[in-house]
Structure 1
Amino acid sequence: MAGIWVLLGTLVVATAAGLLLRRRDGRIKQPKPVTALPAPVAGALDPGAPVTLVQLSTTFCAPCRQTRALLTHLAGKTDGLAHVDLDVTNQPEVAQHLGVLRTPTTVAYAPDGRELLRVGGVPKAADLLEALEPYLKTSA
């Protein structure tokens, strides 16, 4: 009988954890202050674009491929939006410096290196464009 209670308890905890992770995935977060950008990130910023989406990925990350396709498509159809994918597999110090704990993480930067927003997981296209709209309009 005790085994059944342990099983039920485990299922409840696992379900709650899964729902929490699903709810957090793709949510847009406010920027974290960073004093200086790591060289790979600073070099990836497009000075001609009002917003550069820097995607931090790892080699064997399946959601990273989905995010890359989505962000490449958005950057291709949205004026003033650039996209760069940085693989941090062999440069974990970049992710550590930026406070990135999971991949994919997408960080939107202004041309001066100021962080505008960040998204952990696969972003939702409509939500991302809505959040970036004020930054894209001010430059047009």
Structure 2
Amino acid sequence: MVGVWVVLGVLVLGGIAGAVLQARNGRIRAAKAKQERRELPAPVAEALDPDAAVTLVQISTTFCAPCRHTKAVLEPLAARTDGLRHVELDVTNQPEVAQALGVLRTPTTLAFSPAGKELLRISGVPKGSAVLEALDEHLSGSGTRPTQ
């Protein structure tokens, strides 16, 4: 009888953990004030586009299936949105980059201004419409608009 209770307990805890992870997937958070002032790692600084209002830097790893889904959402979004650029950065062999950015999971997408200020970060696979909504003030402030 004790074994049945243990199995039920594990199933309940697993279900709760799964629900929490699902709720956090694709969540967009504004950048923290302390993150705005730190120096960017060289690969990230080199990826920033001074001509784009916002550069989305997707932190990925080689064997990350959700990373491919994130790229499939963000790449076409950037292609059809003026002022938005998407760059995928594979940190499999350079974990110090992820550590310097405070990235604990992949995919994580960071939005940067041309000056290198972090605007927001997204953990997991984002929804394109939510990304555009979150970046609206940064994209519309530069005179850019999504194209259809």
Given the two structures, how large is their TM-score scaled by the length of structure 1? 0.98
Q: Residue 90 in 1 paired to residue 93 in 2?
A: yes
| Structure 2 partner of 1:21 | 21
CA distance in 2 between counterparts of 1:87 and 1:63 reads 13
Deviation above 6 Å: which 4+ runs of structure 1? none
| Structure 2 partner of 1:130 | 133
Gaps spanning 5+ residues in structure 1: where? none
What is the Cα-based RMSD across aligned positions, in Å? Answer: 0.7
- Cα drift, residue 35 of structure 1: 1.1
Within a 5 Å distance, the mapping from 1:93-108 to structure 2 comes to 93-108=96-111
- Cα drift, residue 69 of structure 1: 1.3
SS at match of 1:94: helix
Amino acid at match of 1:106: T
Identity of aligned residues (%): 64
Partner residue of 1:35 out of 38, 56, 71? 38
| Structure 1 partner of 2:64 | 61
| Structure 2 partner of 1:113 | 116
CA distance in 2 between counterparts of 1:85 and 1:121 reads 14
Gaps spanning 5+ residues in structure 2: where? 144-148
SS at match of 1:52: strand
How many residue pairs were aligned? 140
CA distance in 2 between counterparts of 1:18 and 1:115 reads 29
SS at match of 1:4: helix
CA distance in 1 between counterparts of 2:79 and 2:12 reads 43
| Structure 2 partner of 1:47 | 50
Amino acid at match of 2:22: R
